[in-house]
Amino acid sequence: MNTDKPSRRTQVLIIGGGPSGLLLSQLLERSGIETVILERRSREYVLGRIRAGVLESGTVELLREAGVGERMDREGLVHEGIYLAVSNRGFRIDFKHHTGGTVRVYGQTELTRDLYRARDAMGGTILHEVDQVRIEDADSGSPRVSFRHEGRERRVECDFVAGCDGFHGVGRQTIPADVRREFERVYPFGWLGLLSPTPPVSEELIYASHERGFALCSMRNPNLSRYYLQVPLDDATENWPDAVFWDELKCRIPRDAAESIVTGASIEKSIAPLRSFVAEPMRWGRLFLCGDAAHIVPPTGAKGLNLAASDVYYLWQALKQHYLDREDEGIDTYSARALARVWKAERFSWSMTRLLHRFPDQSDFDRRMQQAELEYLETSVAAQASLAENYIGLPY
Ligand code: FAS
Ligand code: PHB
Q: 247: domain CATH number?
A: 3.30.9.10
Average confidence score pLDDT of the chain: 96
The reply to whether 382 and 238 lie within a common domain is yes
Is the minimum distance from the CB of 293 to ligand 2 under 6 angstroms? no
Nearest Cα residue to atom 41 of ligand 1: 304
The reply to whether 125 and 217 lie within a common domain is no
Residue 57 CA to residue 95 CA, distance in Å, equals 12
Is the minimum distance from the CB of 37 to ligand 1 under 6 angstroms? no
The reply to whether 126 and 261 lie within a common domain is no
Residue 370 CA to residue 351 CA, distance in Å, equals 10
Residue 234 sits at the vertex; the CA angle it makes with 186 and 300, to the nearest 5 degrees, is 45
Residue 225 CA to residue 7 CA, distance in Å, equals 50
Residue 188 CA to residue 363 CA, distance in Å, equals 15
The mean pLDDT value for 115-137 works out to 97
Per-residue model confidence (pLDDT) at position 3: 45
- Asked if residues 281 and 163 have their Cβ atoms less than 8 Å apart, the reply is no
The reply to whether 60 and 204 lie within a common domain is no
The reply to whether 214 and 325 lie within a common domain is no
Is residue 90 domain-resident? no
Best of 165, 167, 275 to mutate for ligand 1, by most ligand atoms within 8 A of CB? 165
- 158: pLDDT strictly greater than 80: yes
Residue 317 CA to residue 253 CA, distance in Å, equals 43
- 8: pLDDT strictly greater than 90: no
The mean pLDDT value for 337-359 works out to 98
Q: How far is the CA of 296 from the centre of ligand 2 (A)?
A: 14
Is residue 57 domain-resident? yes
Which ligand gives the minimal distance to the CA of 226? 2
Q: Which residues contact 3 (CB under 8 A, 6 or more apart)?
A: 36, 127, 149, 154, 155, 156
Q: How far is the CA of 300 from the centre of ligand 2 (A)?
A: 7
Q: Which CATH number goes with the domain that contains 37? A: 3.50.50.60
Is the minimum distance from the CB of 306 to ligand 2 under 6 angstroms? no
Residue 165 CA to residue 181 CA, distance in Å, equals 18
* 303 has catalytic annotation: yes
Is residue 349 domain-resident? yes
User: Sign of the CA dihedral 271, 274, 279, 283?
Assistant: positive
The mean pLDDT value for 13-29 works out to 98
Per-residue model confidence (pLDDT) at position 284: 98
Per-residue model confidence (pLDDT) at position 88: 73
Could you say which DSSP state residue 265 is in? Answer: -
* 116 has catalytic annotation: no
- Number of compact structural domains in the chain: 2
The mean pLDDT value for 360-381 works out to 95
Q: Which residues contact 128 (CB under 8 A, 6 or more apart)?
A: 17, 39, 41, 42, 43
Residue 345 CA to residue 21 CA, distance in Å, equals 21
Is the minimum distance from the CB of 193 to ligand 1 under 6 angstroms? no
The reply to whether 290 and 268 lie within a common domain is no
Is residue 1 domain-resident? no
Is residue 88 domain-resident? no
Owning domain of residue 148? 7-79+103-184+275-353
Nearest Cα residue to atom 4 of ligand 2: 53
Tell me: the pLDDT tens digits for 49-96? 989 999 999 999 999 999 999 999 999 999 999 999 998 788 999 999
The mean pLDDT value for 105-112 works out to 97
* 357 has catalytic annotation: no
* 97 has catalytic annotation: no
The reply to whether 281 and 386 lie within a common domain is no
Per-residue model confidence (pLDDT) at position 87: 82
**Amino acid letter at 185?**
R
Closest ligand 1 atom to 303 CA: 25
Best of 14, 15, 20, 51 to mutate for ligand 1, by most ligand atoms within 8 A of CB? 51
Is residue 97 domain-resident? no
- 189: pLDDT strictly greater than 70: yes
Which ligand gives the minimal distance to the CA of 273? 1
| Phi, psi (deg, nearest 5) at residue 75 | -105, -20
Per-residue model confidence (pLDDT) at position 364: 94
Which ligand gives the minimal distance to the CA of 220? 2
What is the reported pTM? 0.96
The reply to whether 251 and 302 lie within a common domain is no
The reply to whether 40 and 123 lie within a common domain is yes
Instruction: Name the band, by pLDDT with cuts 50, 70 and 90, for residue 296.
Output: very high
What whole-number percentage of the chain has pLDDT above 70? 98
- Asked if residues 349 and 191 have their Cβ atoms less than 8 Å apart, the reply is no
Is residue 177 domain-resident? yes
Instruction: Tell me whether strands 268-280 and 295-296 are parallel, antiparallel or unpaired.
Output: antiparallel
The reply to whether 131 and 261 lie within a common domain is no
Which ligand gives the minimal distance to the CA of 105? 2
Tell me: the pLDDT tens digits for 263-292? 999 999 999 999 999 999 999 999 999 999
Catalytically annotated residue among 116, 187, 207, 323: 207
The reply to whether 74 and 219 lie within a common domain is no
Is the minimum distance from the CB of 349 to ligand 2 under 6 angstroms? no
Nearest Cα residue to atom 2 of ligand 2: 53
- 4: pLDDT strictly greater than 50: no
Instruction: Name the band, by pLDDT with cuts 50, 70 and 90, for residue 7.
Output: very low
Is residue 62 domain-resident? yes
What whole-number percentage of the chain has pLDDT above 90? 95
The reply to whether 166 and 62 lie within a common domain is yes
Is the minimum distance from the CB of 54 to ligand 2 under 6 angstroms? yes
